[in-house]
Structure 1
């Protein structure tokens, strides 16, 4: 059976921005330098890399639509929960129950970044940006 010619993938796009966030402890908040990233070949996700002193960065991947939803109200399950804070910030609760880190960030700054990802890959077009060839090739073996 003849195969249809593959539709060419759009050019890949990458966004990265530094962003200051805070790790909230019981009595204090500690500033953490982070980088928020997006790659159009993984169009549903954004990454947050926490740059810790003397250690490798810790990277969490979040669904970009979930981040916007978390700006409006509590959302998430499992190891990722987001909710707006009373001070206009956004709270990210990352990790398993009993071992969670609570991170506070500028809600508008993160939402602006996510909106920029939608300019690169509009909602509903994500699947056109994924390179399925490696997966399909591995299944043919």
Structure 2
């Protein structure tokens, strides 16, 4: 079984313009980093013209599917019947992104099949992480 899940999702960028552009973003989950989800946006979708990747807790995505959730840089909340809003805060500004909720649920189901909630700690390699941390301090 693969230890990485990647799934393309259609993300609708909320802007002041009347028509919201749609981009293909990628959700990424890796069993070796079991608490985290990454969402990557292509360069064409960013103000700087470079690919942007946001990393946040899988639990935040789970919680945000049901009720407004998040503190700090990432907030997630349901929006209507079939959309979820992901709100990303950076020094340059705030990005609001709508994603179809069923796409996020499908992704989350796949991640929970790979690493069930509550079993994330069993997939951490603490010895390797500690070795890496110690190597970085020298």
Query: Which TM-score applies when normalising by structure 2?
Result: 0.84
RMSD across aligned positions (CA): 2.2
Count of residue pairs the alignment pairs up: 131
Q: Hey, what does 2:36 align to over in structure 1? A: 45
Q: Residue 6 of structure 2 corresponds to which residue in structure 1?
A: 16
- Give the corresponding residue for 1:73: 67
Instruction: Name the structure where helix makes up a greater proportion of residues.
Output: 2
Conserved 8 A contact 1:79-1:97: no
Which range moved further: 81-90 or 41-50? Answer: 81-90
Post-superposition Cα deviations, 1:2-59, rounded to whole Å, max 9, x if no partner, equal xxxxxxxxx8600111111011002331111111111000001111110122943210
Q: Where in structure 1 are there 5+ consecutive unaligned residues?
A: 1-10
Distance 2:127 2:110 in 1: 27
Q: Distance in 1 between matches of 2:8 and 2:90?
A: 26
Give ranges in structure 2 of 5+ residues lacking alignment.
none
Give matches, 1:44-123, under 5 Å.
Answer: 44-53=35-44, 55-96=49-90, 99-123=93-117
- Residue range with higher mean Cα deviation, 54-63 or 69-78: 54-63
Q: Give runs of ≥4 in structure 1 deviating > 6 Å.
A: none
Distance 1:117 1:40 in 2: 8
